């Protein structure tokens, strides 16, 4: 089974396509989609343009890596960052629509679910998650930027669930590639 994990962002969206088994996963391709934020001074133009760019880049990525399942991290809303969460919700909406239009199975995972699946603790910090990712893929160091490691963690969690929505899955299962820019 081939799983594409996505760590949503409006400037950097991490992605990782993996296959194999949870015990022996392989990276097919991993990287970031970098969205042009040069119009940050004019948010009324910047966000819609980035969303359109995100949709096109995600569609191309899906066509290139041909996943069977796409896992997207859910939103974590902190009271101090509600405005950021609203903007992220726009990005997630575009992603979910693009995934559904491609006819792919979608798994949405909460940040705490991902941490628990990988480390055994929903309160694990970023460094602990990155260490599990590094170890499970046999990498010399954690992938950078952190968005790539997060996308790998999302894909691993979905893989350990068998690509099923929360509570329904079990385990299931190439080369290494990278894209970024």
Structure tokens at 121: 């603790």
pLDDT digits (tens, 9 = 90+) for 90-103: 999 999 999 999 99
Residue 176 pLDDT: 32
pLDDT digits (tens, 9 = 90+) for 28-80: 999 999 988 776 667 667 888 999 999 999 999 999 999 999 999 988 665 66
For residue 101, the enclosing domain spans 2-179
73 is catalytic: yes
Give the count of domains, the chain: 1
Beta-carbon-side half-sphere exposure of residue 35 (alpha carbons within 13 Å): 24
Residue 123 pLDDT: 93
**What's the CATH number where 59 sits?**
3.30.420.10
Give the CA angle between residues 129, 60, 1 to the nearest 5°: 55
Q: Given a cut of 50, is residue 143 above it in pLDDT?
A: yes
Residue 135 pLDDT: 95
- Residue linked to tokens 């990155």: 130
Model confidence band, residue 172 (pLDDT cutoffs 50, 70, 90): very low
150 is catalytic: no
The catalytic residue among 19, 29, 113, 147 is 147
The catalytic residue among 7, 19, 29, 113 is 7
Residue 173 pLDDT: 32
Q: Given a cut of 70, is residue 26 above it in pLDDT?
A: yes
57 is catalytic: no
**How many other C-beta atoms are found inside a 10 Å radius of the C-beta of residue 153?**
30
The catalytic residue among 29, 73, 113, 150 is 73
Q: What H or E segment, with its residue span, contains residue 18?
A: strand 12-20
Residue 77 pLDDT: 63
């Amino acid at each position: 089974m081939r799983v594409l994990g996505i760590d949503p962002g409006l400037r950097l969206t991490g992605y990782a396509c993996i296959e194999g088994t949870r015990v022996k996963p392989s990276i097919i391709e991993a990287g970031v989609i970098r969205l042009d934020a040069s119009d940050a001074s004019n948010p009324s133009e910047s966000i819609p343009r980035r969303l359109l760019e995100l949709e096109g880049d995600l569609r191309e990525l899906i066509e290139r890596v041909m996943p069977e399942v796409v896992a997207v991290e859910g939103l974590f809303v902190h009271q101090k960052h509600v405005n950021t969460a609203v903007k992220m919700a726009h990005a997630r909406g575009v992603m979910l629509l693009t995934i559904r239009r491609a006819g792919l199975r979608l798994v949405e995972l909460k940040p705490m679910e991902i941490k628990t699946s990988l480390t055994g603790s929903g309160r694990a910090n970023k460094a602990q998650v990155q260490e599990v990712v590094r170890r499970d893929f046999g990498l010399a160091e954690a992938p950078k930027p952190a968005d790539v490691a997060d996308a790998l963690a999302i894909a691993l969690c979905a893989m350990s669930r068998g690509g099923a929505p929360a509570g329904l899955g079990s385990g299931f299962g190439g080369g290494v590639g990278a894209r970024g820019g």
